[in-house]
A and B are shown apart, each in its own frame.
Chain A
């Protein structure tokens, strides 16, 4: 059920804009570097 709610949240067209606001609010002043381990197969 928890996962289903999560998927519904993803379907919310405003989810991306909401999470983007969260990212802006959390962004540190100095530059940070994240590595996306990208192997997709």
Chain B
């Protein structure tokens, strides 16, 4: 088993964090999910900036950020909108409902199926099956994952995240391999429908449009991100504040997160793992979040030996 692209915090480009840091330095209230706070950007992290006195606040969702904007009408508030198809409906819903003028977002949403297509194009990965994320499929449906079985003959199962879900998914993939019958199956039937959540898809379509996007450590992936549609440009922090385009550093010297993210190496194969790069002081993005591959290996790695 190897962990594919994700977690969302790991693939968020350093540029997004650098922009948020620049805004915080200008006096803007920057809001973000807690996971994002410790992620190293080019020079520092949001947490590092907070310790210097900048107004950086952790929120549990976009609605909290909107409330902060409503309570601080004389301040500008920016929300770092990261995540996959699962978090995009939340921010779309807020923008459709109406947000105050002093609220805007840095849109860094990423889409899962295009990243899987990228993996398929890396010839030496030798993948035998995909375990697809049930939470993403809850929104977009199981059908976007069918192409991997239909076009690439790749065993594919949409899975839940409970241990029993994963065990059952492994059994389903092995059965497909044994029968030499690759297909896309849905293990997570209690939540995932073939068509997905149509209401969520509708509001995402109203607010966002698909565009090429940069993934930290992976690079530019065609049609893999969401940007705000023209009707919502006034809430695009990158345009509102005319943020200077600058060169950000995604992968610092010695870090191998880019290879971990595409499954080319296991975290312990990185020389920095566990010494220079540790959960309390992460050097690479995969060591930050509890969902990050390196962080998970650091916590549970002994079980894999």
Interface residues of A (CB under 8 A from B): 2-3, 6-7, 10, 15-16, 19-20, 22-23, 26-28, 32-41
**A35 B4 Cβ-Cβ under 8 A:** yes
26 intermolecular pairs with C-beta atoms under 8 Å apart: A16-B163, A16-B164, A19-B164, A23-B171, A26-B175, A33-B1, A33-B127, A34-B2, A34-B173, A35-B1, A35-B4, A36-B166, A37-B112, A37-B115, A37-B130, A37-B131, A37-B133, A38-B5, A38-B133, A39-B8, A39-B84, A39-B291, A41-B33, A41-B84, A41-B86, A41-B291
**A34 B131 Cβ-Cβ under 8 A:** yes
**A38 B177 Cβ-Cβ under 8 A:** no
Other than the known A2-B189, A16-B163, A40-B8, what 20 A-B pairs have Cβ atoms closer than 8 Å?
Answer: A7-B190, A23-B167, A23-B170, A28-B178, A33-B1, A33-B129, A34-B2, A35-B1, A35-B119, A35-B125, A35-B127, A36-B4, A37-B116, A37-B131, A37-B136, A39-B7, A39-B84, A41-B7, A41-B84, A41-B87
Which of A2, A6, A20, A39 has its CB near the most chain B CB atoms (within 10 A)?
A39
Tell me, yes or no, whether B263 is within 8 Å of chain A by CB: yes
In the complex, what residues of A have CB within 8 A of residue B190's CB?
3, 6-7
Within 8 A of A (CB), among B153-168: 161-164, 166-168
In the complex, what residues of B have CB within 8 A of residue A2's CB?
189
B177 to chain A minimum Cβ distance, whole angstroms, is 6
Please name the residue on chain A nearest to B83 by beta carbon. A41
B283 to chain A minimum Cβ distance, whole angstroms, is 20
Number of B interface residues in the complex (CB < 8 A): 50
Please name the residue on chain A nearest to B84 by beta carbon. A39
Question: What separation, in Å, do the CA atoms of A38 and B292 have in the docked complex?
Answer: 9
**A36 B3 Cβ-Cβ under 8 A:** yes
A39 to chain B minimum Cβ distance, whole angstroms, is 3
**A35 B164 Cβ-Cβ under 8 A:** no
Tell me, yes or no, whether B128 is within 8 Å of chain A by CB: yes
Known contacts A7-B190, A23-B171, A26-B174: A37-B129 contact under CB 8 Å: no
Tell me, yes or no, whether B135 is within 8 Å of chain A by CB: yes
**Which among B35, B130, B168 is the interface contact of A34 at CB below 8 angstroms?**
B130
Tell me, yes or no, whether B126 is within 8 Å of chain A by CB: yes
Tell me, yes or no, whether B293 is within 8 Å of chain A by CB: yes
**B2 A33 Cβ-Cβ under 8 A:** yes
- Of all A-B residue pairs in the complex, the 7 with the closest CB atoms, nearest first, are A39-B6, A26-B174, A32-B128, A37-B4, A3-B190, A35-B4, A36-B131
In the complex, what residues of A have CB within 8 A of residue B127's CB?
33-35
Tell me, yes or no, whether B46 is within 8 Å of chain A by CB: no
**A40 B4 Cβ-Cβ under 8 A:** no
In the complex, what residues of A have CB within 8 A of residue B35's CB?
41
Please name the residue on chain A nearest to B291 by beta carbon. A40
Question: What separation, in Å, do the CA atoms of A40 and B166 have in the docked complex?
Answer: 14
Question: What separation, in Å, do the CA atoms of A16 and B115 have in the docked complex?
Answer: 31
**Which among A22, A33, A38 is the interface contact of B171 at CB below 8 angstroms?**
A22
In the complex, what residues of A have CB within 8 A of residue B130's CB?
34-35, 37
